[in-house]
Amino acid sequence: MSRVLFWILLVGLVVLAVRAKLKALGARRQPPVQPPPRSEAPAAAIENMAQCAHCGLHFPASEAVHADGHDYCSPGHARLPPR
Ligand SMILES: [Zn+2]
């Protein structure tokens, strides 16, 4: 009876060893994980620029202060006359 247990254990160990070896070989063959490619900056990040009618400073158009048909960099310059 002990011989039967010995052979069952031996076959089980061999099966486990072969499985572990195959798993290690399979993991080695997989290509290395590559980082995702960097995506370009979205087009929405590019913003139009405006020029202050008083001081000539260029700034994002979304921050412009509009007064009498001109763009200004700040409310203070909007009160001053354009150059
Ligand atoms: Zn200005």
Instruction: State in Å: Cα 58 to ligand 1 middle.
Output: 8
Instruction: State in Å: Cα 67 to ligand 1 middle.
Output: 12
The pLDDT value given to residue 1: 72
Q: Is the residue at 55 inside a domain?
A: yes
The pLDDT value given to residue 41: 59
Q: Is the residue at 41 inside a domain?
A: no
Instruction: State in Å: Cα 40 to ligand 1 middle.
Output: 32
Q: Is the residue at 38 inside a domain?
A: no
As for how many domains the chain has, the answer is: 2
pLDDT, one tens digit for every residue, the chain (83 residues): 788 888 888 888 888 888 988 888 887 777 667 777 776 656 667 899 999 999 999 999 999 999 999 999 999 999 998 88
Establish how many alpha carbons lie within 13 A of residue 37's alpha carbon, considering only the half-sphere containing its beta carbon.
Answer: 2
